[in-house]
A = this chain, B = another copy of it.
Amino acid sequence: MTDLTSSPAAPAEPVHWVLTLSCPDRAGIVHAVAGLLAEHGGNITESQQFGDPETHLFFMRVQVEAAVAREELTEALTALAAQFSMTWHLDVVGRPVRTLVLVSTAAHCLHDLLFRQRSEDLPIDVVGVAGNHRDLEPLAEFYGKTFHHIPVTKDTKADAEARLLALVEELDVELVVLARYMQILSDDLCRKLEGRIINIHHSFLPSFKGAKPYHQAHSRGVKLIGATSHYVTGDLDEGPIIEQDVERVDHSRSTDAMVALGQDVERRVLARAVRWHAEHRVLLNGHRTVIFR
Contact = CB atoms under 8 A, between A and B. Distances in A.
A119 B115 contact: no
Interface stretch (A2-10, A73-81, A146-154, A221-229): A221-229
B27 A38 contact: yes
A143 B72 CA distance: 51
A108 B289 CA distance: 31
A246 interface: yes
B204 A251 contact: no
Interface in A192-248: 204-208, 220-224, 226, 240-246
Interface stretch (A91-99, A161-169, A260-268): A260-268
A243 B251 CA distance: 11
A204 B224 CA distance: 9
A48 interface: yes
Contact of A30 (B47, B50, B242, B285): B47
Contact of A263 (B30, B119, B206, B251): B119
A129 B142 CA distance: 18
A86 interface: no
Interface residues of A, number: 65
Interface string A31-54: 100110110011111111111111
Task: Give the dominant DSSP class at A's interface.
Answer: mixed
A183 interface: no
B220 A241 contact: yes
A287 interface: yes
B108 A115 contact: yes
A93 to B, nearest CB: 14
A160 interface: no
B42 A27 contact: yes
**Residue among A26, A29, A44 facing the most chain B CB atoms (10 A cut-off):** A44
A22 B281 CA distance: 25
B53 A30 contact: no
Interface string A246-261: 1000111010000010
Interface of A: 26-31, 34-35, 37-38, 41-54, 107-108, 111, 115, 119-121, 142, 204-208, 220-224, 226, 240-246, 250-252, 254, 260, 263-264, 268, 285, 287-291, 293
Given A28-B38, A47-B48, 15 more contacts: A27-B43, A28-B43, A30-B30, A47-B49, A107-B115, A120-B263, A205-B220, A207-B207, A220-B241, A221-B240, A221-B285, A222-B241, A223-B242, A250-B291, A264-B268
